[in-house]
């Protein structure tokens, strides 16, 4: 384990929603590597069990746990937060990563049911988890909340209007919380992943191969990202290194958003 100075997370407890795969699991691994205790949260128990085994193999000093939870259900989220506090001793870092998407060829073709499903999962759930986690952080006198946005926080898209709206909202919600809780020593920031290879984007590659290759061509780094590419930024925003950083939205996209 390579714990490194001001990026040391020893003794801190982190919760990563959607932590049983993709970006969330990549962030959870980075936190364990820096000494944090980590709770991963997801709906799929099989994926949770597999991810938990991966985290346990890293031999973190504090402990890891997995919690099955639907983040759109406030009762389940409240139970999740209480369970983390009881088992790992508190909560210092919350990563709101869980998210979904529903597509339509054009915005007016997206059903209201699909619209609400995406907004509830991607935006309302962040408010729920954050509202329940914040009192624990305030009590400890410190906290880090990291909301996972998207390139769609910056750009619109004809085929995923609810996703784009929800991810744009993530950035504004991040700024609102950052202003409110500076007095409580709780920093709130967002990460905007670029095109990252995950289960969700693998479906995109299969459905839109030409678009997939166009993204590679536009990305200065010349490739799609990997979940591990998010780890460094997530550790920075969770550590003492970012104690004077709040209300920001940091693209991690290989330069895609520069063009």
DSSP 117-152: HHHIIIIIHHHHHHHHHHHHHHHHT-EEEEEE--GG
Residue 148 domain flag? yes
Tokens at 87, concatenated: 């088992």
CATH, residue 72:
3.40.50.720
User: Structurally, how many domains does the chain consist of?
Assistant: 1
Catalytic residue among 163, 173, 212, 256: 163
pLDDT at 60: 67
Residue 2 domain flag? no
Tokens at 189, concatenated: 């920031």
pTM of the full structure: 0.95
Residue 138 domain flag? yes
Is residue 64 within 8 Å of 38, Cβ to Cβ?
yes
Is 117 assigned a catalytic role?
no
Q: What is the DSSP letter of 220?
A: T
Which SS3 state, helix, strand or coil, does residue 255 take?
A: coil
pLDDT at 61: 65
User: How far is Cα 60 from Cα 81, in angstroms, rounded to an integer?
Assistant: 21
- Our measurement of the distance from residue 35's CA atom to the centroid of its chain's CA atoms, rounded to an integer in Å, reads 19
Question: Of 60, 63, 42, 62, nearest to 51 (Cα)?
Answer: 42
Residue 181 domain flag? yes
Torsion sign (Cα): 35, 247, 131, 20: negative
pLDDT at 62: 72
Residue 200 domain flag? yes
Max CA pair span of the chain:
51
Residues 133-153: pLDDT tens digits?
999 999 999 999 999 999 999
Residues of the chain with pLDDT under 70: 1-4, 60-61
User: How far is Cα 176 from Cα 156, in angstroms, rounded to an integer?
Assistant: 22
Residue 1 domain flag? no
pLDDT at 3: 53
Domain that holds residue 61: 8-258
Residue 219 domain flag? yes
Residues 180-211: pLDDT tens digits?
999 999 999 999 999 998 877 777 777 788 88
């Amino acid at each position: 384990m390579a714990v490194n100075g001001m990026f040391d997370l020893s003794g801190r407890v982190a919760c990563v929603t959607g932590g049983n795969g993709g970006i969330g699991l990549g962030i959870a691994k980075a936190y364990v590597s820096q000494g944090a205790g980590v709770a991963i949260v997801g709906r799929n128990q099989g994926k949770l069990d597999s991810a938990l085994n991966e985290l346990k193999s890293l031999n973190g000093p504090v402990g890891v746990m997995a919690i099955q939870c639907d983040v759109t259900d406030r009762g389940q989220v409240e139970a999740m937060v209480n369970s983390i506090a009881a088992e790992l001793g508190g909560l210092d870092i919350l990563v709101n990563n869980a998210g979904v998407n529903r597509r339509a060829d054009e915005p007016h073709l997206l059903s209201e049911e699909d619209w609400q499903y995406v907004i509830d999962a991607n935006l309302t759930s962040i408010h729920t988890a954050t509202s329940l986690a914040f009192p624990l952080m305030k009590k400890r006198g410190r906290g880090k909340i990291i909301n996972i946005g998207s390139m769609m926080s910056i750009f619109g898209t004809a085929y995923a209007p609810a996703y784009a709206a929800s991810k744009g909202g993530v950035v504004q919600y991040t700024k609102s919380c950052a202003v409110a809780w500076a007095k409580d020593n709780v920093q709130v920031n967002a990460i905007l992943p670029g095109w990252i290879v995950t289960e969700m984007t693998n479906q995109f590659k299969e459905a839109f191969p030409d678009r997939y290759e166009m993204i590679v061509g536009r990305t200065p780094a010349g490739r799609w990202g990997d979940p591990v590419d998010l780890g460094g930024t997530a550790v920075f925003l969770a550590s003492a290194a970012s104690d004077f950083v709040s209300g920001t939205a940091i693209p991690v996209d290989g330069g895609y958003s520069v063009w």
